[in-house]
Chains A and B, each alone.
Chain A
Amino acid sequence: IGIIGNYQQKNTRVIYDIKQSQVGFAKETCS
């Protein structure tokens, strides 16, 4: 099982929604 690590998630908004069982991605400058 592969794993997506935090190094590749930088400057991305990662949204977790347990109720709707979905994960979302959007580009964002985090700083």
Chain B
Amino acid sequence: RLQLKTLQRTHQSNSPSCYSQKSKSENGATILEMQHKDYCSGSVTNMSRNHQKQVITDDDIRVRSIQDSIKNIISGKIETSSQNNIPISSGVKLHSLNYIVTVTLGGRNTTVIVDTGSDLTWIQCQPCRLCYNQPEPLFNPSVSPTYRKVICNSSVCQTLQSATGNSGSCGNDLQDCSYVVNYGDGSYTRGELGQDHLVLGSTSVENFVFGCGRNNKGLFGLASGLMGLGRSDLSLISQTFETFGGVFSYCLPSAEAKSSGSLVLGGDSNTTIFKNSTPISYTRMLANPQLVTFYFLNLTGVTIGGVAIQDSAFGKTGMIIDSGTVITRLPPTIYKAVKAEFLKQFSGYPFKQGVSILDTCFDLSAYEEVSIPTVKMQFEGGAEMEVDVTGVLFIVKSDASQVCLALASLQYDDE
């Protein structure tokens, strides 16, 4: 392409006599004479300062253009059919501290919580026996022409056991596949499995299996349901494996941010570079045969303000990484050491009583500016996650009279 452009520019020059006439054939190859594009006008040997400046400016624009093209291709900004970008935003507007995305299911926009800690995607359905409030209309399977029931003696229904911990059962009409999902915080959803057309950004998924929730209660805010991004056969990631190859990523914005982050499905985790991100550091997922649906990582260290926390518990137990849990829970001995170092470095600020699981709180209402120690988590293989400054402290009261370290302890070491 670069050569072609040079020839085209030569053609645009003023005098026909300037066209390159000299060509020859040698060993089966055709050799064309090549001249500078300004050769014909003579300006190549007699450039004014302005012309020189223009040439340099043109050259700079050209280089920037090439670099941008390369950057866009590498960063995946020019999306391939196997990669899909969906806006993700804080669920605060839906009274949830989780993150939400809007997808289209059965032709209707549906806003759901993004949860890597569970597998079944479900939405509240009509007719509903026990549903919480949601601003979006309830999904009505009877008016979706593409909706189909999952029958109870099907292989799909049998995957419920590994995906949810509860086996599917035959519903009232002895055909429906009834499901039950109980979450760790006491929330639950019950209903039947169905299949419908799902649109994720620019990608369509036919016959996507999801839960039609008829009995739902718990900490879902006003979201219409939940998107399960776990590892079982029933998760969205497994159901779209052929399209997206089992790769996805997200970038969660702070709750105060009005603009959204992104959930990216697909791409190549080894070569993809995200716009405005630092280089990616990887750690291996641990295999936990008892809890195969979770994403387990090996936490090998924590630093507070650059000081490494010493604890024999590091590297011994896996940590689950979950988008559906809000506050990080650390094993007690690690938490105690982290808390002690944080207090050492965050000294001088008045203490305040704790709230709920947060036991390290301060009254910062008298301060316009505070210096917050950095928190870094290190994982097997050298991967590191530096906690963003917005993720270190949890502002309980908006006047900053109660601000807490946004970390909590498990009750006991092998909980």
Residues of B286-324 contacting chain A, CB below 8 A: 287, 291, 295, 297, 299, 317-324
- Using Cβ atoms and an 8 Å threshold, which residues of chain A touch B394? 7
**Least CB distance, A4 to chain B, in whole angstroms:** 5
Query: Does A28 contact B277, Cβ atoms closer than 8 Å?
Result: yes
Q: How far is the CA of A13 from the CA of B319 in the complex (A)?
A: 18
- Using Cβ atoms and an 8 Å threshold, which residues of chain B touch A10? 252-254, 388, 390-391
- Using Cβ atoms and an 8 Å threshold, which residues of chain B touch A1? 291, 317-320, 410, 415
Cβ contact of A6, chosen from B318, B319, B325, B331, cutoff 8 A: B325
Query: Does A13 contact B327, Cβ atoms closer than 8 Å?
Result: no
Contact with B along A1-31 (1 / 0, CB 8 A): 1111111111111111111111111111111
Query: Does A23 contact B251, Cβ atoms closer than 8 Å?
Result: no
Query: Does A28 contact B276, Cβ atoms closer than 8 Å?
Result: yes
Q: With contacts A10-B253, A12-B385, A25-B280 known, is A2 near B299, CB below 8 A?
A: yes
- Using Cβ atoms and an 8 Å threshold, which residues of chain B touch A26? 274, 277-281
- Using Cβ atoms and an 8 Å threshold, which residues of chain A touch B319? 1-4
Q: How far is the CA of A19 from the CA of B231 in the complex (A)?
A: 11
Query: Does A2 contact B317, Cβ atoms closer than 8 Å?
Result: yes
Cβ contact of B328, chosen from A5, A12, A18, cutoff 8 A: A5
Query: Does B326 contact A13, Cβ atoms closer than 8 Å?
Result: no
Contact with A along B33-57 (1 / 0, CB 8 A): 0000000000000000000000000
Q: How far is the CA of A19 from the CA of B328 in the complex (A)?
A: 26
Q: With contacts A8-B387, A16-B249, A17-B246 known, is A22 near B282, CB below 8 A?
A: yes
Query: Does B269 contact A22, Cβ atoms closer than 8 Å?
Result: yes
**Least CB distance, B273 to chain A, in whole angstroms:** 9
| CB-nearest residue of chain A to B88 | A30
| CB-nearest residue of chain B to A19 | B246
B253, B270, B279, B385: most-surrounded residue (chain A CB, <10 A): B385
Given A1-B318, A30-B251, 5 more contacts at CB 8 Å?
Answer: A2-B410, A8-B406, A12-B388, A14-B249, A20-B269
| 4 closest cross-chain pairs (CB), A and B | A30-B261, A18-B246, A28-B277, A30-B251
Residues of chain B at the chain A interface (Cβ within 8 Å): 97-99, 116-117, 229, 231, 237, 241, 245-254, 257-262, 269-270, 272, 274, 276-285, 287, 291, 295, 297, 299, 317-331, 334, 375, 377, 379, 383-388, 390-391, 394, 406-407, 410, 415
Task: Enumerate 27 A-B pairs (CB-CB under 8 Å) in ascending A order.
Answer: A2-B320, A4-B322, A6-B252, A7-B394, A7-B406, A8-B375, A8-B406, A10-B253, A10-B391, A11-B390, A13-B250, A14-B251, A16-B237, A18-B285, A20-B269, A22-B269, A22-B282, A23-B282, A23-B321, A24-B249, A24-B383, A25-B280, A25-B283, A25-B384, A28-B276, A30-B261, A31-B254
